[in-house]
Structure 1
Amino acid sequence: MTASWPDIPYGPWRETCSALHLYSQIVGKYRLARTPWVNHSWHATLYVNARGFTTSLVPDGPRGVEIVLDLLDHAVIGSCTDGRTARFDLAPMSVAAFHRRFGDLLRELGATAEFHGSPNEVPDPIPFVKDKAERPYDPEAVTRFFVACAAVDRVFNRFRTSFLGKVSPVHLFWGSFDLAVTRFSGRPAPLHPGGVPGLPDDVTREAYSHEVSSAGFWPGGGVDLPAFYSYAYPAPPSFADAPVEPEAAYFDTTLGEFILPYDAVRRSSDADGTLMTFLECTYRAVADLGGWDRRRLDCATGIQRQPRPL
């Protein structure tokens, strides 16, 4: 265990996590509203950077705008390609107050403060402007969460180097509030039945238009503790019975996914290696049981300054 894998128990910061989730939705919906559609909703996501989560550069008329949720200095920071900047502090507030301040920040940048006004993929969604309950903000817990995300991002990015096929960036889906990385077999998938709470069926079906093996990280909520997951769409026969490592990993029949508690990674003598083992063996289960062409798709893990051997 090292400082790069901090303790992030979900219970003590549950309410702060919920608030941060909704704030990320507001920021993400600005990016979604301004960016042309990219396959599987990749245009909507946020990314880990050196200080928190970023939209990357969002096209907004003739200019570009970047929004950063700075989880070290605890601020929302906007920067525009014409040199303008704006910010406000992250602190205890309501979702409605965050929404108002974020709109003011966009207008200060000369950006377009128009985007969808209700959360997705949360139970009992309340329009942002009507969500006036005061929310806590625990800066120490938020920073620990960011440090954990930076560690997860590092391993996920290394994992994606050993695949020659189509593979997603490592990105934060603000709807479900999880960091994810997804590999594709290259084959079309059966039409997804839809029915994901708080997500339009056409969005879900486009996201799962092709066969996937997807892995990710939740801070909590999915299984009420910080955890990694791995699933397939469509799930191949006997996927739930596949042997996976490490020993702490298990198949959750309700979710239809393999789960590995974050603490099992954090407490291991080689946290990066333990997580990589989970990612690799769950992918192999999908690929082998699903008949993926691994000769064409797999390659050696990338090494710094060494071109991939042909």
Structure 2
Amino acid sequence: MSGASQWPELAWGDWAATADTLHMWTQIVGKTRMVLTPLQNHWWNVPLYVTARGLGTSAIPYGDEVLDIEFDFVAHELHLRMGSGKSQVMKLKARTVADFYEEYLGCLKELGVSVKINPMPVEVADPVRFDIDTEHKSYDPEYVHRFWQVLVHADKVFRAWGTGFLGKVSPVHFFWGSFDLAVTRFSGRSAPPRPGADSIQREAYSHEVISAGFWPGNGGYGAAAFYCYSAPVPAGLSEATIRPAEAAWDKALGEFVFKYDAVRALATPEKALMEFLESAYGAAADVAKWDRAALERR
């Protein structure tokens, strides 16, 4: 278990502009992976993954070649690499999304990669096309590095939590649309159609899930937090008591929340986070009447 000092401060107000810019950059790279890979259940072909230096796509087949793209949040560079050895590097620095997008497409062209992505961002309020977005242009390397450190710690705990589940479970992956790290467990039962769901939500929530994750505070929430939710939400879940005491049901969000600042303030943040995951999942699984004896390692 790491000490609390290893979980860096990440107040949303201190780096919101940088996070919003980085969000758009990850969407550009993520959409590249989405276009070049076949659809997997629940959109598992689109996320990015925590790496030893940042966030990456993993290997993407391209004809007889293979491509991978990685945000390096240590050297603050974007690496585009082909299996042949050809590569391109972009500096991660304060620059507009439009400028980033133009150089990025140029790098792909230099590598011989032809891909057409939808330039309109998704899952954000008032989206602006990547090619004309001159509003988002901030990049604070210190806070980006802190964000990556949090993702590394969270990824480690999420992976360890997954060892106790025998049912269908997602990889731990970073969804660039919502800008969060998540892992999802499935009951094995189909879910009723979600009212008003679009094609993305219909695919993502075709089956009953309990999902946990971390997001830095975007979307209007304003604070970094860990979360756990059930879809569909079983009746009575909001009345369940979970641990540790610092975690609670958020009525507005309709899910359990354990704020990041509360996590890092504890003596053993990883132990507290694991307790939250186990407790919130257990509460949701019991209320939803999942077959826990069949789904969990005893």
Q: TM-score, normalised by structure 1?
A: 0.93
Q: State the Cα distance separating 1:126 from its structure 2 match.
A: 0.7
Residue aligned with 1:110, SS: coil
Moved over 2 A (4+): 1-4
Is structure 2 residue 159 aligned with structure 1 residue 157?
yes
Counterpart selection for 1:18 from 20, 39, 44? 20
CA distance in 2, matches of 1:84, 1:3: 40
Aligned to 1:248: 246
Q: Is the 8 A contact 2:21 2:136 kept in 1?
A: no
1:46-94 alpha-carbon deviations (Å, 9 max, x no partner)? 0000000000011222211000011111111011011111111001111
Partner Cα distance (2:291, 2:202) in 1:
24
1:90 corresponds to: 92
How much does 1:246 deviate?
1.2
Picking from 122, 136, 139, the partner of 1:137 is: 139
Paired residues of 1:9 and 1:226 also in contact (CA < 8 A): yes
What amino acid is the match of 1:65?
A: L
User: Distance between the aligned counterparts of 1:102 and 1:179, measured in 2?
Assistant: 24
Sort the Cα spacing of 1:241 and 1:134 in 2 relative to 1 into closer, same or farther, 3 A: closer
Relative to structure 1, the CA distance from residue 263 to residue 99 in structure 2 (aligned partners, 3 Å threshold; closer, same or farther) is: same
SS in 2 for 1:135: coil
Q: CA deviation at 1:3?
A: 4.2
Take 2:246 and 2:43, find their aligned partners in 1: how far apart are those partners?
32
Cα RMSD of the aligned pairs, angstroms, is 1.1
Ranges in structure 1 where 5+ consecutive residues have no aligned partner? 196-200, 301-310
Partner SS state of residue 157, structure 1: helix
2-side partners of 1:211 and 1:44: how far apart?
A: 20
1:206 maps to 2:223: no
**Cα separation, partners in 2 of 1:173 and 1:134, compared to 1, 3 Å:** closer
Could you say if the C-alpha distance between residues 157 and 94 of structure 1 is closer, same or farther in structure 2, counting changes exceeding 3 Å?
A: same
Output aligned runs, 1:1-310, within 5 Å: 1-133=3-135, 135-195=137-197, 201-222=198-219, 223-300=221-298
- Cα separation, 1, equivalents of 2:94 and 2:48: 22
Letter in 1 for 2:249: F
Contact 1:92-1:134 within 8 A present in 2 as well: no
Secondary structure of 2:6's aligned partner: coil
Q: CA deviation at 1:133?
A: 2.6
Q: Secondary structure at the match of 1:162?
A: coil
Q: 2:58, 2:5 → 1: CA distance?
A: 27
After superposition, the Cα gap between the structure-2 partners of 1:208 and 1:86, relative to the gap in structure 1 and judged at 3 Å, is same
Equivalent-residue separation in structure 2 for 1:213 and 1:75 (angstroms): 35
Aligned residue identity for 1:16: T
Please give the secondary structure, in 2, of the residue aligned with 1:93. Answer: coil
- State the TM-score, normalized to the length of structure 2: 0.97
CA drift of 1:109 comes to 1.6
Per the TM alignment, residue 134 of structure 1 is displaced from its structure 2 partner at its CA by 5.4
Counting matched residue pairs gives: 295
Residues 238-278 of structure 1 show CA distances to partners (whole Å, capped at 9, x for unaligned) of 10111011111121112111111001111111111100011
